Amino acid sequence: MDTEIILRIVAVVVAVFILCTGVDYSPIKSFITNLFKRKPKVIVPENSSVKFLDIVESWHVLRNQCEAYGLHEAVEKIDEVFPLLNGGEDV
C-alpha cells in the first residue's frame, strides 16, 4: 500500500475513535477559545487623576498579598521592579 493511503486510513480511524468515545472535550475547547479571545482594554478616563499615594498603596497591597501566600520569588521581583518604594523597609 502507498504511504498516503495508510495515513488517510489512520486519520479516519483516529477521528472515528474520538467521535465514538464519551470523553468530555469541553475543557480543551474552552482553553482554545480563551486563547483567541480579545482581552478588554483598560481605559482610564481623561478627567480622573491618579495620585502617587494610590499607586504606592496598590503596590503595598500586592506585595503584602504575595508575602501572605508565601510567594517569596514574587516579592523579590516586586522589590526589583519598584526599588524606590522600598525606602522605609529593610530589604
Domain limits for position 80: 3-86
Average of pLDDT values for 72-89?
76
Residue 91 is assigned to a structural domain of this protein: no
Residue 48 is assigned to a structural domain of this protein: yes
The pLDDT tens digits for 3-60 are 999 999 999 998 888 888 877 778 888 888 888 887 777 676 676 676 777 777 787 8
Query: 20: which 3 cell numbers?
Result: 465514538
Residue 35 is assigned to a structural domain of this protein: yes
Residue 64 is assigned to a structural domain of this protein: yes
Residue 48: which residues within 8 A CB-CB, separation 6 or more? none
Q: What is the pTM of this model?
A: 0.38
Q: Is residue 78 within 8 Å of 59, Cβ to Cβ?
A: yes
Residue of higher predicted confidence among 42 and 68:
68
The pLDDT tens digits for 37-53 are 877 776 766 766 767 77
Residue 28 is assigned to a structural domain of this protein: yes
CA of residue 39 relative to chain centroid, distance: 11
